[in-house]
Structure 1
Amino acid sequence: MARDPRQRFAQTAADLVEEDLSVALVYAEISGQFFGDVESRHPDRVVNVGIREQLLVNVGAGLALSGMRPIVHTFGSFLVERAFEQVKLGFGHQDVGGVLVGSGGSFDIASGGRTHQSPGDVALMGTLPGWTLHVPGHADEVEAALRQSVAGDGRAYLRVVSQQNARAFPVRPGHFHVVRRGAGPTVLAVGPMLDPVLEALAGLDVTVLYANVVRPFDSGTLRAVLGSPEVVLVEPYLAGTSSRFVSDALSDVPHRLLALGVRNEELRRYGSPSQHIAAHGLDAAGIRASVDRFLAGPVGGAA
C-alpha cells in the first residue's frame, strides 16, 4: 500500500469504487494522475468535472440525492474556500451525506502561492453543523477514515496532507488517544502535529493527547486526564480553531490555554512546506519555545 497519504487516499478511493456500486468519485483535475485506471473502468461513477469547483460539489450533492455515496475531491483551498456555499447548501441544507477530501492543507503546495494554501479549512467547515472532521496524521489513518466515512451515511471532511507521524492510531470519532501521562500540562496534538509535539516536549512531565478526528470533540477524555491548569493545543491549521471546544469542556475548571497553529498572517514568500511550518512555530523547536514561555507565565511554573 502507498505510504504517501495523498496516494493512499487515491488508492483507497479507487478500491472503494471497485468494491461498492453505490460509491462515486467526483474530482476536479487534482489527483487525476492516480484515477486513470478506475475512471476507464467506471466512467459512470468516476467523474472529472475539470477546474470547476462549485460544479464539483454540486455534482457530488446531486449524486447523493440520487442515492449514491459520493467522494468529492480537490485541493482543500478550492474545495472548502472556493466552493463553500455549495458545501453549505448542496450537502448541509439538503441534508444529504457525502465525503469531502481536501488535499494540500496549509502549506503542502507552498510553491503554488496563497491560492493553494488553506489554513482556514477546518475552522470554516466547523461552522457547519453535522460534519465529522478528520485530520489524519498517517497514511493508514487516511485509509481508515475514508473507509469509515464511505461506509456511513453522514457528512465527513478529510484533510489529507503530506506531513505525517511515524505511528498510526485507530480512527475513532469522538475519542482522543492518551499517548503519555504526566503530572504537568495537558497537550492536545492534532494530526501530523503529534511527532513534533513529542520531540518538542521530551523531558517535560506532561500528558499528551492525540486527535485524528477533531469534530466531534472528545471533551470527556480531556477532562479525565487534566492534571495541572495548563492546556496546550497544537493544530496544523489556523491557531485557535478548537479553542472554544477546550474552553467549553473546561468551563467549570480554572485553566489556562495556549493555542498553537498557523498564525493569522500571510507569509508572502513561497519557500518550502517545512519553511512555512517553522515560520509559524510549528516545528519542534518552535513548539518547545512557545511552551517554555507559556509555562514560565504567572500561573504555571517550570515543568
Structure 2
Amino acid sequence: MTTTTVQTDAPTFDNRQDFADELINLARANDRVVAVCNDSVGSSNLTKFREEFPDRLINVGIAEQNMVGVGAGLANAGFIPFVCAAGPFLTGRALEQIKADVAYSQHNVILCGMSPGMAYGELGPTHHSVEDFSWLRPLPGLDIVVPADGPQTRSALRNAVADPRPTYIRVGRFKVPQVSGDNAGLERGKFVVAREGTDVTLIATGTEVSRALWAAASLAAEGVSARVLNAAYLSPLDEDAIKDAARQTGGIITAEEANVAGGLGAAVASVVGQLEDGARVPMRILGLKDHFSPTGSTAFLLDHFGLSADHIVAAAREVLNRD
C-alpha cells in the first residue's frame, strides 16, 4: 500500500538547484556531458557548471533556434547535450528545430525547459510556458518528463545520461515540497503511484502533484479514498495506469500547470474515451482554458485557474456525485 502524505507547511524547494547539482555530478563522471544555453547561465542555474567546466558550456546567446541546432550537432558527434532555456523560448521559438533536428532526426538531445508553467509569475503570458505539452506531445520519438520534486529531477537527469534519447524535461522554478524519497527513481513511460485509493483517481503532474496529495488527504477526512498518480512521463504515456484507474475507481481528475488543449487531461481523456463503455468513467480536467493569464504571482495564478487543492477536492466531489 502506497500512502504518501505532504504537510501543507512542509519546506519547499526550487528544482533548479537539484538540476544544477546533479548535472555537475554527471559531468564529473562522464566527459561527454555538456551544456548549451541561450544567454541564460544564471536563470538556468549553470553558474557553478561553467566555473567547473568552462570548456563544456556553450552559450549561443539569445538564439534559441541555433541553440537547438548546436545541441543536435553535439549529439551527432557523440556528446550528451543538455540544452537549457526558459520553457517558453525553448519550445516556442525553436519548435521547428525540436521537430526536425531532434525528434525527426532522433538526435539524443536533452531539452531542459527551465522555469516552466507560470513560474515567471508577474512577467506575464509571454514568459509563461503553458503550451509546451500541446506543442511537443504530438512529436513522435520525443520523451516528455515532468519531475514533481528535486529527487525526481535528479532521476530524470540520470536517466537521460544512462540512456540518451530525444527528451524534454520540465525543470521547475516554483518552489514545491518533496513528494518522493531521496533516492526516487523514475521509470520511462510510467506514472508514479503516490497514494493508493479506490473511490476516485487524481492524476497530476509537476507542481500539481503535491496539491493532489493535499486534496487526497482532505478527501480521506470525508471518507473518500483517492488514488494519486504522479504523471512524471507524458510521453511515453502510461496507458495501463490510466485504464486501471478507469476500471478500478469511480472517476478521474487531472491537474496540470498547462493549457488543457492537448495536455495531460487530453491525453488521459483519449485513453478513457477508447475503453469499452462499461469502463468509461466521468472526468474533470483542471488547467488553463482559452485564456491568457492576468498579472500576479505563480501561487495566485495557480489558484486563479482552479489548480488549488480545494479545487481538486471540489472536482472529485462533483465526479463522485454525478448520476
* Fold shared by both chains (TM-score > 0.5): yes
The question of whether the paired residues in 1 share the 8 Å contact of 2:255 and 2:265 is answered with: no
Letter in 1 for 2:25: D
C-alpha spacing 1:224/1:24, structure 2 compared with 1 (3 Å): same
Who is 2:185 aligned against? Answer: 170
C-alpha spacing 1:166/1:18, structure 2 compared with 1 (3 Å): closer
Who is 2:291 aligned against? Answer: 265
The question of whether the paired residues in 1 share the 8 Å contact of 2:106 and 2:141 is answered with: no
Who is 1:206 aligned against? Answer: 226
Who is 2:5 aligned against? Answer: none
Q: 1:229: how far off?
A: 4.0
Say whether 1:180 aligns with 2:195: yes
Who is 2:98 aligned against? Answer: 87
TM-score, L = length of structure 1: 0.90
The question of whether the paired residues in 1 share the 8 Å contact of 2:197 and 2:226 is answered with: yes
C-alpha spacing 1:109/1:220, structure 2 compared with 1 (3 Å): same
The question of whether the paired residues in 1 share the 8 Å contact of 2:152 and 2:186 is answered with: yes
- Indicate the larger mover: 90-99 or 175-184: 175-184
Who is 1:148 aligned against? Answer: 159
Q: State the distance in 1 between where 2:311 and 2:252 align.
A: 17
TM-score, L = length of structure 2: 0.84
Letter in 1 for 2:287: G
Who is 1:230 aligned against? Answer: 251
Q: 1:173: how far off?
A: 1.6
Structure 1 unaligned segments of length 5 or more: list them.
Answer: none
Map 1:1-303 to 2 at 5 A. 3-32=13-42, 34-161=45-172, 162-168=174-180, 169-201=184-216, 202=218, 203=220, 204-225=224-245, 226-239=247-260, 241-250=263-272, 251=274, 252=276, 253-268=279-294, 270-297=295-322, 299=323
Q: State the distance in 1 between where 2:264 and 2:130 align.
A: 13
Root mean square deviation, CA, Å? 2.1
The question of whether the paired residues in 1 share the 8 Å contact of 2:202 and 2:226 is answered with: yes
Q: State the distance in 2 between where 1:189 and 1:40 align.
A: 37
CA deviations on 1:12-49 (whole Å, 9 max, x unpaired) are 22332332121111011224374344324534321111
CA deviations on 1:68-92 (whole Å, 9 max, x unpaired) are 1110001000001111011111112
Q: State the distance in 2 between where 1:100 and 1:140 align.
A: 19
**Secondary structure in 2 matching 1:44:** helix
Who is 2:4 aligned against? Answer: none
Asked which structure has the greater RCO (Cα within 8 Å, sep 6+), the reply is: 2
Q: State the distance in 1 between where 2:56 and 2:313 align.
A: 48
- Indicate the larger mover: 199-208 or 126-135: 199-208
**Secondary structure in 1 matching 2:177:** coil
Letter in 2 for 1:17: A
**Secondary structure in 1 matching 2:207:** helix
Letter in 2 for 1:200: A
The question of whether the paired residues in 2 share the 8 Å contact of 1:99 and 1:150 is answered with: no
Runs of 4+ with >4 A deviation: none
Q: 1:247: how far off?
A: 3.6
Q: 1:157: how far off?
A: 0.7
CA deviations on 1:128-187 (whole Å, 9 max, x unpaired) are 111111111111111110111122121111101124233224311222222333331222
- Indicate the larger mover: 87-96 or 129-138: 87-96
The question of whether the paired residues in 2 share the 8 Å contact of 1:39 and 1:47 is answered with: no
Q: State the distance in 2 between where 1:60 and 1:190 align.
A: 27
Letter in 2 for 1:282: L
Letter in 1 for 2:267: F
Q: State the distance in 2 between where 1:238 and 1:275 align.
A: 17
Q: State the distance in 1 between where 2:66 and 2:187 align.
A: 32
- Indicate the larger mover: 271-280 or 259-268: 259-268
